[in-house]
Amino acid sequence: MQRFNPKMLELARTFRELTQKQLADLLPKINQPNLSKIEKGELLVSPATAEMIADALNYPVSFFYQNEPRTHVANIYFRKRATVPQKRLDKILSDLKHVLKGIGHFMEDIELQEFPKYSFDLSHGWTPEAAALRMREILNIPPGPVKDLVKRIEETGIIVYFYDAEDEKFDGLTAYTDTGTPVIFVNKNMSNDRLKNTISHELGHLVTHIPCSIEPWRDVEAEANAFSGEFLMPKKDCYRDLQNLTYNKLSILKSYWGVSKAFIIMRARNLSLLTESTYKYLMIELGRRNERKTETGYVDLDQPQVLPEIINILKKEFTYSNQDIANNLSFSLEDYVNLFEPSPFKLKIRSLRRTV
């Protein structure tokens, strides 16, 4: 018989953003020191206590009798800013593990194209730029800007998940489910140009870092940035466009290449097409015109399709309801809906009629 798994208790508590003391305050018969011992596996949990913990955390009790996800932090790559607080990262990781657990469970009923586990070892001859160009070939991307980025990536067997992150300083991360499905997990609240860069950055991690041994002195973030630069703006295609770059050209180039103005400036600098003084001037101009955080100009980006289609098949062909799927995952209905049911887009419409 499966025993109560203390690791699942820790995962559920982190998901609810509760400290051990806060959870203990919700459990009349368990104090914080004993709760700590339970999470360490030093105290056995009776069925009655398990029910009490499940009620306090709003989980089906079956959740705590499962094996914990095998995804470890060492096997995850982030694109984040250094200022993301550890507590928020813990919450993001717990959300990720819930999503990975759910996707892994879906794969028991759904056959998805298997990702070929492309591997370009940067310690053995590959460069980030060469890996990026090879991935463009694999994804059948013609010369020039990348169109239908999400669709092309998902066609290889990768799932792209748009995550509703509460912290704007989190960009994205990449990990595998226990069943071997890679997931690129990105903050959907970012602008499309930032999303596009993050997705290609995470793709770089997926094919150059996760499957390879990484020497401790290497800067994996710089390597993923170099991959993204060549992937979204190949040197042979953009070199002429970036010559004699001025601020007035940025809007046109952003519209054509589908990347941010800041990305274009950085790309020109990395290709040695800008002097340091011109680079600084252009970045200062972005700030002076209040475009460092929110740029003008629109970048198109397609939406993930694989996960919504999987859920659609579960409902139509297996006749599962939302509650059925939640039960199968050992999630509450609310948690299942929040994690896996896409919210409809809200159009921002305002009246142009002036009141007298």
| pLDDT tens digits, 247-304 | 999 999 999 999 999 999 999 999 999 999 999 999 999 999 999 888 999 999 999 9
Q: Which residues contact 93 (CB under 8 A, 6 or more apart)?
A: 14, 73, 76
Residue 308 reports pLDDT greater than 60: yes
Range with the largest mean pLDDT of 2-6, 67-71, 232-236? 232-236
More confident position, 333 or 71: 333
State the pLDDT confidence band at 351, using cuts at 50, 70 and 90. Answer: very low
Res 165: pLDDT: 87
Average pLDDT, rounded, for the chain:
90
State the pLDDT confidence band at 352, using cuts at 50, 70 and 90. Answer: very low
Paired with 172 in beta bridges are 79, 186
Distances (CA, A) of 269 to 133, 208, 243, 262: 20, 23, 10, 11
Q: CB-based burial of residue 25 (10 Å sphere; 0-12 exposed, 13-18 middle, 19+ buried)?
A: middle
State how far the Cα of 158 lies from the Cα of 99, in Å rounded to an integer: 14
Residue 63 reports pLDDT greater than 60: yes
Continuous H helices in 161-219: 192-208
Mean pLDDT, to the nearest integer, of 87-93?
87
Residue 319 reports pLDDT greater than 50: yes
Q: Which two structure tokens, joined as six digits, stand for 348?
A: 């921002």
Mean pLDDT, to the nearest integer, of 136-164?
96
| 111 backbone φψ class: left, alpha, beta (φ>0; ψ -120 to 50) | beta
First to last CA, the chain: 73
Mean pLDDT, to the nearest integer, of 21-49?
93
State how far the Cα of 296 lies from the Cα of 284, in Å rounded to an integer: 16
Domain locations in the chain as residue ranges = 6-65, 73-235
Looking at this protein, which amino acid is placed at residue 277? S
State how far the Cα of 264 lies from the Cα of 253, in Å rounded to an integer: 8
Q: CB-based burial of residue 49 (10 Å sphere; 0-12 exposed, 13-18 middle, 19+ buried)?
A: middle
- DSSP structural state of residue 303: P
Mean pLDDT, to the nearest integer, of 156-162?
96
6-65 homologous superfamily: lambda repressor-like DNA-binding domains (1.10.260.40)
Mean pLDDT, to the nearest integer, of 133-140?
98
CB contact at 8 A, 5 and 68: yes
Res 75: pLDDT: 55
